[in-house]
Amino acid sequence: MPPTVETEPRRLPLEGLRVVEFTHMIMGPSCGLVLADLGADVIKVEPVAGDNTRRLLGAGAGFFAAFNRNKRSLALDTKSAEGREIALKLAARADVFIENFKPGAMDRLGLGWEALSKLNPRLIYVSHKGFLSGPYDQRTALDEVVQMMGGLAYMTGPIGRPLRAGSSVNDIMGGMFGAIGVLAALAERDNPVHGTGRGRLVESALFENNILLVAQHMLQFAVTGQAANPMPNRISPWAVYEVFNVKDDEQIFIAVVSDTQWKIFCGAFGYADLGSDDRLVTNNMRVAAREWLLPELSRRLAKLSAKEISERFEAHGLPYAPITRPHDLFEDPHLVATGGLAPMTIPADANQLGREIETAAPLLPLALDGKRLPLRSDPPRIGQHAGSVLGEIGLSAGDVARLRSAGVIGPAEG
């Protein structure tokens, strides 16, 4: 049975976990997103004017909407004495504190690990940075920076043309590793037999994340003594593992990765001559023949449409893929049928159109007991939950009104 979105009331795994998130851009918010989707109460603390990613254009326009659902927003001036006091009160009752600012920024606000761990010894403090401690740790890093210096851009583009990956892979995975660290620290703190009762400092970094992504290429060199070629220039371990240009200027990716699949492929397409060719009996022989085999396959497949090829590959259980653009995925039949996309409203203050946008959002790529984790709340408006968040630390409605009037907190609820 395909996974379905959880609709019945049910306790989520991290329900009851209190998280304070001082983040922006992608890496820190990704960590908070994972914890929020798993049920944690994540309070996103933004500047009074709101997270800057709310106002990004172009490629950054989807940042806030993608990584800030299922969170509550408090817009807070942490440079003011009252703002810092509120932040400390939130940290004092939190289980997890997440940040992803430059080294030293949180210390200057009195919200660094040393200060908060003394205030709240059970606190798990997650710091997302460009680099772990070492010679590079004061450098300013971005996803693209570490892709270039960490070998991923070299492996992605052709020789002489390093290219960044087409998504913020290190930012997102760095946030995921931050969340994994949280789960490990929670297990250590709260284990009923040998729990420590204390929090930990969890650190996740873009550069080290990127190194894990290229580990297979590093170890290829260690094993073979030969440097890995960039993906467009690589010697594939499989003979047929390519994008082909086919009829009507369409493209399709097809793969034939075993000797059994080769026999099936040749039979499905009527290529009896290739199937009986003594030069193509094994995968390694076909790899050696790629120089002439791939052009020959390209010539033959060019007569067929992508639809025809897809249907034959599907019917015979062979791996293939259409070349899909991200915005096409809103209509993907598998995502739609399995509830992988959840209806979501992007608030007016988090998009360049200045009005609410009704759309759908991809859920976390996992299922628990056959159920997808739900989207419980849309990305918040700036300071949307000030009243409820501040009420939980003992402030009255009058206190909230006064703080708002003084500019210590952002816009009103409602």
What is the chain's pLDDT, residue by residue, as a tens digit (414 residues)? 555 555 555 799 999 999 999 999 999 999 999 999 999 999 999 999 999 999 999 999 999 999 999 999 999 999 999 999 999 999 999 999 999 999 999 999 999 999 999 999 999 999 999 999 999 999 999 999 999 999 999 999 999 999 999 999 999 999 999 999 999 999 999 999 999 999 999 999 999 999 999 999 999 999 999 999 998 887 788 999 999 999 999 999 999 999 999 999 999 999 999 999 999 999 999 999 999 999 999 999 999 999 999 999 999 999 999 999 999 999 999 999 999 999 999 999 999 999 999 999 999 999 999 999 999 999 999 999 999 999 999 999 999 999 999 999 998 554
Residue 182 host element (H or E)? helix 169-190
Determine, yes or no, domain membership for 15.
Answer: yes
Sign of the alpha-carbon torsion through 252, 257, 229, 291: negative
Determine, yes or no, domain membership for 228.
Answer: no
Asked if 207 and 100 sit in the same domain, the reply is yes
Asked if 37 and 94 sit in the same domain, the reply is yes
Q: Which of 186, 199, 209 is nearest to 100 (CA)?
A: 209
Determine, yes or no, domain membership for 327.
Answer: no
Determine, yes or no, domain membership for 83.
Answer: yes
Asked if 198 and 318 sit in the same domain, the reply is no
Determine, yes or no, domain membership for 231.
Answer: no
Domain endpoint, select from 322, 347, 371:
322
Unique residue bearing structure tokens 């082909």: 244
Determine, yes or no, domain membership for 328.
Answer: no
Asked if 257 and 395 sit in the same domain, the reply is no
Residue 32 makes CB contacts below 8 A (sequence gap 6+) with: 19, 21, 23, 42, 44, 67, 68, 71, 98, 175
The structure's pTM equals: 0.93
Determine, yes or no, domain membership for 410.
Answer: no
Hey, what are 364's tokens? 């976390």
Determine, yes or no, domain membership for 223.
Answer: no
Q: Domain limits at 121?
A: 4-214+333-405
Q: Are 34 and 67 in contact (CB under 8 A)?
A: no
Domain endpoint, select from 276, 296, 322:
322
Number of domains in the chain: 2
